[in-house]
Amino acid sequence: MSENRRATLHDVAQYCGVSYQTVSRVVNNHHYVADDTREKVLKAIAQLGYRPNRAAQSLAGNRTHMLGMLTMGIDHYGPAQVMIHTEQAALAAGYDLVFAHMPDSSISSLQAALTRLLHWQVDGLILITPVTGISHEDTRALLSGYSTVQVSVERGASIPSIGVDQYRGGELVAEYLLSLGHRRIVELAGPADWLDASERHLGFAACMEAHGIAPVTSVYGDWSAGSGYESVKNLLDSGLDFTAIFSANDQMAVGVLRALQAAGRRVPDDVAVIGFDDIPEAAYLSPPLTTVRQDFSALGQLGIQYLIERIRQPDAAPRQMLVAPELIVRESSEPNP
């Protein structure tokens, strides 16, 4: 093959001794390819420097093989992880992913971001809109005619959506603390206008209520370590008595641990602490943090799979698909003495 000629699927097929159709299945991430054959084809693709011809694919199938993502809140851990893992899943499925960031949850912000994305003639859209402000009716009106999947909406919403089951995550925390014998529990919730924070709070509160117990108090932070520190410091200064704290994310839990340490409260001997997210640093805090893990890799894969399904079957009934959270028990929680 000439050095100046671009490698084709036929070149890859001839190089590794398989059919053109087999190479096409590998490139399009088709499931019905034997693992050893897939590996051989992928090696040939790398050695020959084959790159898909997106223009030809678009003409052949009326698709650009580009997806768009409208993002908000990516300076926070959760939305940033959704974005990263969604891009990885898109590339693995043979799609490119382009982004447009919304600075706030207003209609004008959504319209501006959508205008930027549509320059790319994307086949479908994923929306990360973690903060309340835009109604489902407004979203449907703006995105009419486009295949869409929304990330992190309220549980049971009748729109095409995916998410981690935040409500169940809140339940897991309450169930675990109650099983340890804790009854005087402080809830450090996330911002009231964040949908995930609201769902975690609702799940936690419903489980506590089902056992006839109310939190000692519920206060709100802003997801930062600083707000965790200040919230717990204020509670300690007020003389409030408690044996456990549920922090709605791990970043706030970092501040919680520091405030308790500064006040001479031992964790978990005096106060048990549980976070949410399972950030990479959680296992290395002092003590290592019990938390609720969100599987962002599974969420990214689910989002791309569902969006591709919506592109291929735009008239299919919408549904919500949820990834189960997992309680990760470490040394920051112990039975109430």
pLDDT of 214 > 60? The answer is yes
User: Phi and psi for 130 in degrees, rounded to 5?
Assistant: -75, -10
Lookup result for tokens 């851990």: 77
Terminal-to-terminal C-alpha distance of the chain: 75
**Per-residue pLDDT at 86:** 94
Q: What is the pLDDT of residues 236-245, one digit of tens each?
A: 999 999 999 9
Query: What is the band of 174 on the pLDDT scale with cuts at 50, 70, 90?
Result: very high
The domains spanning 9-51 and 166-294 adopt the same CATH topology: no
**Per-residue pLDDT at 269:** 95
The C-alpha angle with vertex 327 and arms to 163 and 90, in degrees rounded to 5, equals 35
- Distance CA(8)–CA(275), nearest Å, equals 51
User: Phi and psi for 175 in degrees, rounded to 5?
Assistant: -60, -45
One-letter amino acid at 221 equals G
CB neighbours of residue 11 within 10 Å: 18
Class of domain 9-51 as given by CATH: mainly alpha
pLDDT of 167 > 80? The answer is yes
Query: What is the band of 4 on the pLDDT scale with cuts at 50, 70, 90?
Result: low
Buried b (16+ CB within 10 A) or exposed e, 312-323: eeeeeeeebebb
Q: What is the pLDDT of residues 16-42, one digit of tens each?
A: 888 877 887 777 666 567 888 888 888
What is the percent of the chain with per-residue pLDDT over 70, rounded to a whole number? 92
- Residue 296 CB burial class (10 angstroms; 0-12, 13-18, ≥19): buried
Query: What is the band of 59 on the pLDDT scale with cuts at 50, 70, 90?
Result: very low
Calculate the average pLDDT of the chain. 88
Cis peptide before 268 (omega within 30 of 0): yes
pLDDT of 324 > 80? The answer is yes
Q: Are 271 and 260 a contacting pair, CB within 8 Å?
A: yes
- Distance CA(85)–CA(241), nearest Å, equals 41
**Per-residue pLDDT at 55:** 46
DSSP-derived 3-state class of residue 293: strand
The mean pLDDT value for 282-295 works out to 97
Selected residue with higher pLDDT from 133 and 297: 297
CATH number at 61-164+298-324:
3.40.50.2300
The mean pLDDT value for 88-116 works out to 87
**Per-residue pLDDT at 107:** 81
Class of domain 166-294 as given by CATH: alpha beta
- Distance CA(189)–CA(169), nearest Å, equals 13
Lookup result for tokens 């580009």: 66
Has this prediction a pTM greater than 0.85?
Answer: no
Q: Give the residue extent of every domain in the chain.
A: 9-51, 61-164+298-324, 166-294
